Amino acid sequence: MQSIFGRQDSKSFNWFVFIGFFIFAPTQADDWQTSVDTESLLVTVSRTDDMIKINAKVFIRSSPDAFLALLDSANHDCSWLAHCTAVKIYPSQSPTVRIVHTILSSPWPLQDREMFTRSTHQFSPSGDHLSILVEDISQHFPIHPNRVMLRNVTAQWSMAHSHDDWYELNYLGSAHPGGVIPDWLAEKAMQDATEETMLAIKERLNDE
């Protein structure tokens, strides 16, 4: 079985190109519906086989290095991540890999949710394009009696130079909501959380 930390050598540019294509390609295969379309943010949603998929795009006056630093600081302050109450980043054997435990609050009477993920990042040779692949590794961790474990969590982040000091930040994520929750409520919650998170990231990075 492969270690949850992955391989130490993750410098293949072919991997970077594949992830970049996968982030921008999904609208060709799925039935996506626009839920938010403003000057600040674009969010589209798709549902397939009980899985909810969210695709979001925002323009940020910042850099890929600053965005990665924001992610790495989540164990000290995750207030930019919607409904986040705590993040723990475990020590990793590779500088490009993060093992992350995230706890998310839920309104009463729903139980709080948590997820364990492995995040692997890759910069382009020029350094102006960042791709991050997020994989679910919850099967390696025990279930908390008072929380619902999110399963089948996958996500990709891509941040690429657009023009001048502006970068385009893209997010594509999917997950089964877990627990007993109506489909429409789960979809609405994921849409709202994505919108809140993307706008908070933009505000945080633009202020730096």
Asked if residue 118 lies in contact with residue 139, where contact means CB atoms within 8 angstroms, the answer is no
CA angle 164, 167, 173 (to 5 degrees): 170
What's the pLDDT score for residue 4? 60
Confidence class of residue 156 from pLDDT cuts 50, 70 and 90?
Answer: very high
pLDDT tens readout for residues 128-143: 999 999 999 999 999 9
**Do 145 and 86 contact (CB within 8 A), yes or no?**
no
Helix (H) or strand (E) holding 198: helix 183-206
Q: Which two tokens stand for residue 102?
A: 């995230």
**Is 54 domain-assigned?**
yes
In a domain, 75, yes or no: yes
Q: Report whether 169 contacts 159 (CB < 8 A).
A: yes
Does 173 fall in a domain? no
pLDDT digits (tens, 9 = 90+) for 10-65: 333 333 333 333 333 344 445 888 878 787 899 998 887 677 889 999 999 999 99
96 domain residue, yes or no: yes
Domain that holds residue 92: 33-164+192-206
List the CATH number of the domain containing 148: 3.30.530.20
Average pLDDT over residues 75-93: 95
Number of folded domains that form the chain: 1
Query: Is 86 a member of any domain?
Result: yes
